[in-house]
Structure formats: C-alpha cells, structure tokens
Structure 1
Amino acid sequence: MKIFKKILMLLAVLMMVVTPFAAITADTTSSSSSADTAKTTDDSLKKVKEKGTLVVGLSADYPPYEFTTKQDGKTEYVGIDIQIAKKFAKDLGVKLVIKNMNFDSLLVALETGKIDTIISAMNPTEERRKSVDFSNIYYSGGKYIVINKKDKSKYTSKESFKGQTVGAQNGTLEYNLIKQQFPGATVKGLAKLNNLIIALQSGKVSGVLMEEPTAKAYVQNNPNLYAFNSKVSVDVNETGAAMAFPKGATALTQAANKTIADIKKQDLLDKEYVPEAAKYMKQSSKHNTMASYWTYFAKGIEYTLIITVVSVLIGFVLGIILALMRLGHNKLLHGLAVAYIEFIRGTPLMVQVMFVYFGIGAVIQSLPALAAGIIAVSLNSGAYVAEVIRSGIESIAIGQTEAARSLGMSQKQTYQYVVIPQAIKNIWPALGNEFITLIKESSIVSVIGVGDLMYQTQLVQSATYKGVAPLAITMVIYFVLTFTLSKGLNYFEGKMKHE
C-alpha cells in the first residue's frame, strides 16, 4: 500500500512538470495543421470580439512609432503604432490593452497567446513569416545610422564602419543587415534601443542602425547625435512596418488589412499620426528633467517591494519545506527536494521567469505578468533558502536533538523548539544576503513587462531621450533599499545574539 501511494505521488509530480511542456509541444505541433484548416476553423476575430479586448504587444522605446510620455502625472503610450492600434481596436468594437515588453520577447508572447497582435514597427521578414502571419505594410521608411556628431567626418557610409562595432536592437531586421552588409564590422545587439544610444554615447559602439523616423527622432532631441542614410539593400517584401498575428489567424489579419486600407485612404499617417507623435516628442524634450518623472520611480519602487516581500515570504516557507524534505529519511521526498534544488540553482532566473510567463502562461492564459514574476522569483528563492536552512540545521550538534528526544519531545517539537531557533541564529546573515539579493534580482521581471523599478527606468529613458541619468537615479534607489534592509537585518541579528 505504501509503495502504491509513493507511485501515485511520483506520477502526480511528473504530471505537474510535464504538463506545461506538453501543452507547448501540442501548441507547436498543431500550428501546422491549424494553418491548413484556417479557412474553415479560424475564429481569431470572433475570440477577440467575444472577450472584448485587443491585446497589443509592443516595445515602447521606438519613437515616433511607440514611446511614452507623461500626461497629467500618468504614463501614456503614444506614437504612430499606438494610433494605429487604437483605430484597429475601435474598428473591431473592443477595448485596447497595451503590453509593453522587450522587442525580442514579442514573437514568443504572440505564439503563446499572451497577446493578440504585435504592432511595433516590425518588419515582415521571410524568417518571421514562417512563424506568424503579417498584415499589409502600413508604414515604410529607410534605414538610417545614428552616430555621435563629433564623428560626422569619420563615418559617411556603411563601408566606413570596417573594423568598428555597430549596434542594433535584438531580433530586428537591422541586426541581420549589419551582419550581411557592413563589411568588416561587428554587430552589437541589445534588447532596448535606449541602451544602444547609451552605448553609442559612451563609445561602446560607433553607430546604431534603425528606422529612418526613429533615427530622426533621437537626433532632433539630442544635439550630440547625427543620422544619415545607410543605403542598405532591403527586400521590398521585408521592409516597412506591419502587424503580426498568430499563424492561421486569417480573419483577424484581414480585419487589420481593412483598417490599414482605411488609414491610407484617409491619409491619417501624414495628416494626424506622424504630426501628433512629433508633438509629443517636442513636449518630452521640453519637460524631460528627472524631477518631473518622480512618479515613475515611485511606482517602480512600489512594484519592486511588492515582488520582494511576497517572494521572501513564499520563498522562506518553501525553503523550510524543501530543507526538511532533503534532511528527512523518505527517499522519494529527499530525491524530489534534491532534484528541485539542483535544477533551480542550475538554470538562470531570467529563463525561469520567461518559462513561467510564456510556458505555464500558455496553459493558464489569464496568468498576469506580475503573478508570473512573483511565482518565478519565489520558486528560485526557495531553492537557495532551502540550502541555507539545511546548513543551519546540520550545524546544530546531534546532542541537542538527542537531549530533546530523551526529555520526551516528539520530532516535531524538537525541530520547533530546539533545532530551528538555534539554526535561525546561525543562518541569519546568510538569509539576510539572500533577501538583499532578491531586491536586486527582482529587476529581471522587467523582461516580461512587470512595472518594477527597472521597467520604469526604461520608460523614463525612452520618454526623456536620456540614458545615463535615469540609471544613476535607479542605482541610488536600489542602494537605499538594500542599505536600509541591511541595517534592519543587522539590528535583529544583534538582538538575537543577546538573547
């Protein structure tokens, strides 16, 4: 009977681990067949209308396509793509929902159902067409190189970058164009365009390749920059910006094409969308002092503290359970604890965050980014806390346990009143280090669009066209948070030593 129970427990655990992978595999294998039957079974448009929202994924660091501005103390998404998204949602009769994340995460979010479409100045390359469907082109522009103005005479063409490093956003057509058409140049890819501009100004890269409107936007708002036409050769079918949809979402793609046709018919891009984006960019350049964006940093601190506090509590409880499982005599529970701890400690936290959000999130569609971030950070913290607690328990002399048991205490009472209290005193500094590390590591959740401090910093960078100043403020904020926590932990450590 005991063996049967252990087998059932093992099967249950295996199902919990395998289910997300199975769901993703099923989704991948079914994509080819769904494409064949899209004409008869496609209900993409119907689903959007039934839920009443159009979830649009974008990377809001790409003016004038999409960027942020402050209106009445609130963060607003503005730009050409935002206007197109608003019109598309209005034409469908649904509410628009914006999901801001790294550009190189957008296709994953689309394929796992976290968003309905990508409207982020995405080029419809042949490689991308294998995974997603694209609408018609809604805006075309050339590829420009942004350089430091002082290097104006040094760099005059793409050939002049031989032996130099040229930057481009990860996952973009520009990244591949540098590798293919910049002879002797090395490509440097980063997730955010703001960080590439910082790299340019600090001499890490000699130039940054981007869309013409975006290049001109940065130059207009930064007198130390200069832009010129790269004259790269681009396939006419791959250039320009288009909306991206899940493979087989024919009905939704056709609806987007109707919206694009209406935009072109009314000439809304030249008459309204581009001028309005330029207006917001001018406003940002006039009111781009760091003090005016204090609400961004305040909101980031709030989310960072929420993630840290909740993750600390969950991670501590999970760590105790895992430590006791590993120290116990039950081979199955011991094996599970060891496997979990080694697996979590052997994989990067960023990968874990993205797997929880995009992997498990593919099964649980309603899983919010904040919840996914907290779950991932908590599970990661639990593995490290478990090892800290285990080392603390093992540091207690066996005689303490034997003495407690000889006095008639049960194993539970022995751990509760004798072992754990002494172990906590021994491991308090190590636990403190883990908690402090957690505050800093929580910044990783910004990759899935959680509005923590790092995420808000990136918004300030894109809104002010300044790269270093927001980072300097963020460093100070993180230092204040960790220093305050460190002092608090030291206070309680001193109290415990005197008890």
Structure 2
Amino acid sequence: MKRQFGKWLLLVGIFIFGILGLARPASAASDTSLARVKAKGTLVMGTSPNYPPYEFQINQHGQSKIVGMDVEIGKQIAKDLGVKLVIKKLSFDSLLPALTTGKVDMILSGMSPTPARRKNVDFTDIYYTEGESILINKTDGAKYKTKANLAGQKVAAETGTLQYNLIKQQMPNAQLTGMSSAANLILALKTHKVAAVVKGTASATAYAKNDPSLMAINGHFKTSSAQAGNAIALKKGSPSLKNAINRSLTKIKKHHWIEQRYLKTAGKYLKVNTADTSMWHYRGYFLKGLQYTLLIAVVGIIGGSLLGLLLALLRFSTIAPLRWLATAYVEFVRGTPLMVQIMFVYFGIGIIVDVSALNAGMIAIVLNSGAYLSEIIRGGIQSVDSGQTEAAASLGLSKSATMRYVVLPQTLRIIWPSLGNQFINLIKDTSMVSIIGVTELIYQLGIVQADTYRGVAPIGIAMVIYFVICWLLTRLLSYYERRINRGQQQFN
C-alpha cells in the first residue's frame, strides 16, 4: 500500500510541475503581446490600491473607485493603444505571480525594477524617480532625525519591496520587520509596534500630510541606477508591448504630466478620503465585504460537505485505487496551507483555465474544507455501532440502502457538534482569499485603513461583523442539534 500511496504522491508532483512548466516565457520571435492586447480590446493593469498617491481607493458618492498617479498613467497608455483600461486589485505579493501567469498584462503599482525582479519579468523605462523617506511618529521627531538614530529599533517596510531591501542593506543595526500591506505598516507605527516605516517619498509625504500624528524625514538611502525609480513590469518576452508603453511614457515625461497633472489629481482625491473618515461613511465597503464573505462561506459549507461525504465514502470503498486516491487527496490537502492552495488554484490552475479571483477562492475553500470534513464524516461513520449494519443486513437492506437510511442519519447526530466547529472555522478562513484580490471583509478592511488613515476602528468593525456571523451560525446549529436529539429520543 505504501508503494501505491507513493505513486499517487508522485502523480500529484508531476501535475504540479507540469502546470508550472506551462508558465515559461514566450520567445521574442513569437511575441504577440501587443497584438493580443489590441485584439481583446483591454489592457489589464495589476495594482495594489493601498499606496497613496500612486494608487488607492476613494469612497465618492457611495461608490468605490481606484485612483492615483499610476491609474492616470495607465489610462493614458490604454488611450494611446486604443484599448480600454481594466484594473485588477491584488495584494502586492500577488502581483508578480499574476503577471507571469497571464492574469494581468502589466503591473503598474509603484514598483521598482530591482535586479531580482528583472530575472523574472521585463520592465519598461523609468517613469518616475523619487527618494526614500522614513515615517515616524511626530512625538519621536527629536529622537529620530536620521536613519542612524534608529539603530537597535524596529524599522518596517512592505515585504518584497525596494524599501525592504534598503533597510536590510543600509540599516544593518536596525531590526527589520516586514509586513504585507501599507495599512498594516501605518497601524504598527501608530501603535508603536515599530519605531519607523520606510516608504517612497511621495507616499510618505501623503501619509504625513493627512495624519497629524506622523512626520516624514529624509532617509538619505543610496540606490543604484538600475533600481532607482519606478517602472512598469511586463511578462518576459513582450518587446512589442514594452516598446508601445515606452512611447507613451516618453510622451508623459516630455509634457511633465506626472508633476503637473497626475500628482495634483491624486492630491485632490486624497482630500476626498480625509473629508469624512467615519466608519459609517464607509459602511458600503463593509457591506460589500460581508456579502462576499457570506457567499464564499455558504459555497464552502455546501460544496465542502458534499465533497467531504464523497471522500469519506471512497475511504470505505472496496476498489483500492479509489480508496488510495481519496487518502492521498486528504493527506495532501491537510498537509499544505490554505493560503498556498488558494494561490495555486488562482495562479496555477488558472494557466490552463481562466478562473476569476472569486471563483478561485471558492474552489480552494471547497477543496480544503472537503478534506477536513471527510475525516469528521469518516470518524462518525466508524462510530456507528456495527450491530446497526448487521440488523439492516438481516432485514435484507443492500449496502447502499444501509448506508443511506441507517448509518448516515446516525452519523449526522454524532458529528453535528464537530461539523458546527468546522463551519465556524470555515467562515473565518474566508479571510485568506483576500490575498488574490477577492473583496471580502478583510480585503475591505485594508482598503478602509488605507483610505482613512485609521488603523484600529476598521479592525473593530470587522471583528464585530465576524462575531455576529459566527454567533448567529452557532445559534442555528444549536437549534438543529436539539431537533436531531429530540427526534432520536422519540425514535428510541
């Protein structure tokens, strides 16, 4: 059996590496990047909209809108190409995988063309150059005047960014802390979890201007010409698209539109956000996040239960390959993190079939919960007294009828409390899909933090919403548990 189990694991490994192999960059000779964009009529821009003034979201007249300097640049590029700009929201860490797997046509998100990134993607010409600043609490202004004063202190930056590497290289005596979003960085700074945050000067200045408790100081970091400034990332082997975008960037720089138009437009939008930072003003964001959270949870509970039942029954199958396959699946899923599974479904399987972020998130949740629920169901089936099946057989019931009418009803009563716990955990697990840009509750929480420059209040609102959902589900499960127990007592 061990040899057969090893074969199934080997097949899984071959499948994974086969998918990864499909992501190899196209050769320059077969470059159709520009033609493909024009043929479909859209230019898909990947961005992480929590980095003002480059890209951020505003709540204007009750509607969510992505704005910023990079968005204006993207609009001009799309106009020059004669196509429509489509903006796809992702976490910053997910942008490069989205580009290499074809989910987006370009990354326009204040990204620096570091040597490490150039190994995997192509970059256009630099479109904007700025220095690096250090954000600190205004109360620490007398203490931290230069980066040398931060020796021994916790200094943070977004993971995977130029600023993260600069801290590592040029502030060796500081305690480097990496975080996944700009909103978390600012929250950590304001709650004194870190002493300073390193950001691009434009973004740091925006935060300092809109939050009176913060101030920005010059970081005096040294950057090489190869990585200074920001550029647009493109998939490897896209020279035609790269050349077309470079022509647009040349025109933008020639007319000084970034300084004279785009940054001023971003500044006006920043004032929209700070005009009303109450959580009631952003209720639409939380309601939208709640809708997606509930949708994913319901699909996960129903789909996961059906898949779990199927896997549990396969574990009892007399057909050995089916039994081994179900065992291998359950062990593999339970042995890998849910976040990795979500990214694999979206970026890996998405290479073969174009799966939207929402559908990918729901598929991953179903596949993950099915594995855990199968073990709960299997344990419940094994807990049913063997005398029940013997009695059913003596009455002439077939194995399938015995399972359907005798074993499974008793199994449901046995496993109901465990099912309830798993369902509640599943609701909280829906927060994981925010990494691929699904606008569920946690994703919206991050947007509200970035827009309002308030860290704790949005977290409190999200906690209350999750608690209410889980409390209501607990009450519902308890109600049906009592009904099941009453029915069993009447039967006895």
Normalising to structure 2: TM-score of the pair?
0.96
Determine if contact 1:20/1:363 at 8 Å carries over to the other structure. Answer: no
Paired AA for residue 151 in structure 1 = D
In structure 2, how many angstroms separate the alpha carbons of the residues matched to 1:441 and 1:195?
19
In structure 1, how many angstroms separate the alpha carbons of the residues matched to 2:247 and 2:469?
51
Determine if contact 1:353/1:372 at 8 Å carries over to the other structure. Answer: yes
Query: Within 5 A, what are the aligned runs for 1:61-210?
Result: 61-210=50-199
Q: Secondary structure at the match of 2:173?
A: coil
Determine if contact 1:159/1:183 at 8 Å carries over to the other structure. Answer: no
Offset from partner CA, 1:215-262 (integer Å, 9 cap, x none): 011111111101100001111221111100011100111111111111
Gaps in structure 1 of 5+ consecutive residues: 1-6
Determine if contact 2:431/2:440 at 8 Å carries over to the other structure. Answer: yes
Paired AA for residue 79 in structure 2 = K
Q: Does the alignment pair 1:386 with 2:382? A: no
User: What displacement does 1:89 show?
Assistant: 1.1
Determine if contact 1:146/1:215 at 8 Å carries over to the other structure. Answer: yes
Determine if contact 2:420/2:477 at 8 Å carries over to the other structure. Answer: yes
**Match of residue 433 from structure 1:** 421
CA 1:14–1:232: 2 relative to 1, 3 Å: closer
Query: Within 5 A, what are the aligned runs for 1:451-462?
Result: 451-462=439-450
Q: Secondary structure at the match of 1:291?
A: coil
Determine if contact 1:21/1:359 at 8 Å carries over to the other structure. Answer: no
Offset from partner CA, 1:2-61 (integer Å, 9 cap, x none): xxxxx9xx9999878744531322433xx3xx4xx41x3211000011111111111111
Within the candidate set 474, 478, 487, 2:466 is matched to: 478
In structure 1, how many angstroms separate the alpha carbons of the residues matched to 2:336 and 2:107?
29
Q: Secondary structure at the match of 1:120?
A: coil
Within the candidate set 430, 450, 457, 1:469 is matched to: 457
Q: Does the alignment pair 1:244 with 2:230? A: no
User: What displacement does 1:390 show?
Assistant: 0.6
RMSD, aligned α-carbons: 1.6
**Match of residue 357 from structure 2:** 369
**Match of residue 338 from structure 1:** 327
**Match of residue 248 from structure 2:** 259
Identical residues among aligned pairs (%): 49
Query: Within 5 A, what are the aligned runs for 1:321-336?
Result: 321-336=310-325
In structure 2, how many angstroms separate the alpha carbons of the residues matched to 1:478 and 1:491?
20
**Match of residue 3 from structure 1:** none
**Match of residue 24 from structure 1:** 20
Q: Secondary structure at the match of 1:168?
A: strand
**Match of residue 412 from structure 1:** 400
Offset from partner CA, 1:254-306 (integer Å, 9 cap, x none): 11111111111222112210011001111211121111010100100110111
Determine if contact 2:9/2:328 at 8 Å carries over to the other structure. Answer: no
Offset from partner CA, 1:363-404 (integer Å, 9 cap, x none): 21x210001000000000000100000111111010000000
Paired AA for residue 319 in structure 1 = G
Gaps in structure 2 of 5+ consecutive residues: 488-492
User: What displacement does 1:334 show?
Assistant: 1.5
Determine if contact 1:168/1:208 at 8 Å carries over to the other structure. Answer: yes
Query: Within 5 A, what are the aligned runs for 1:218-367?
Result: 218-364=207-353, 366-367=354-355
Determine if contact 1:143/1:210 at 8 Å carries over to the other structure. Answer: yes
In structure 2, how many angstroms separate the alpha carbons of the residues matched to 1:16 and 1:168?
37
Offset from partner CA, 1:437-479 (integer Å, 9 cap, x none): 1110001000000111111111111111111111110000000
Q: Secondary structure at the match of 1:210?
A: strand
Paired AA for residue 292 in structure 1 = H
Q: Secondary structure at the match of 2:109?
A: strand
Aligned residues: 483
Determine if contact 1:20/1:360 at 8 Å carries over to the other structure. Answer: no
**Match of residue 443 from structure 1:** 431
**Match of residue 424 from structure 1:** 412
In structure 1, how many angstroms separate the alpha carbons of the residues matched to 2:64 and 2:385?
57
Which deviates more, 425-434 or 282-291? 282-291
Q: Secondary structure at the match of 2:345?
A: helix
Q: Does the alignment pair 1:49 with 2:45? A: no
In structure 1, how many angstroms separate the alpha carbons of the residues matched to 2:10 and 2:403?
30
Which deviates more, 261-270 or 247-256? 261-270
**Match of residue 4 from structure 1:** none
Q: Secondary structure at the match of 1:483?
A: helix
In structure 2, how many angstroms separate the alpha carbons of the residues matched to 1:179 and 1:16?
38
User: What displacement does 1:203 show?
Assistant: 1.5
